[in-house]
Amino acid sequence: MPSGEMQIESKIIFSSKLSVEGPLRMNEEYVEGIFESPRVIEEALPEQLKGVFNQAVSTVQQLPGSIRDVVDSGLRIPLSGSFQRLFMISYLDEEILIIRDTAGIPEVLTRLDAPASPLADPITTEYES
């Protein structure tokens, strides 16, 4: 990383519920979104900003516990079905799932963890886009 370049990481995590609409068709309903607090990579922070960063960290530590917990764990936004999409399964095997949305745009998902046994619970299978 070039000198003086600051790096901040942030994540938005969505939880969704899948339901079968037909032999190859599924509906994905987004249940919740979590905006995680941005993380500053301190090693990449320029010297002139380290004092300001330390002040901000100190200020957050002085917040009431309930507010500090939200900052630490992220802001949860209930979506309760306000966003959903239909998709068709194009391909599925032990490692890869390829789906297409209603516009025909493909999305390739790979399994996060290989199943422990052939009898693994398919409901808890996680894929990463």
In tens, the pLDDT along 32-78 reads: 998 887 777 777 777 877 788 888 878 878 888 877 777 777 888 89
Residue 80: per-residue pLDDT: 83
Domain edges within the chain: 8-128
- For residues 105 and 116, the model is more confident at 105
Q: How far is CA 21 from the centre of its chain?
A: 25
Q: What is the pLDDT of residue 126?
A: 61
pTM: 0.56
Q: What is the pLDDT of residues 10-30, one digit of tens each?
A: 888 888 898 999 989 999 999
State how far the Cα of 74 lies from the Cα of 93, in Å rounded to an integer. 34
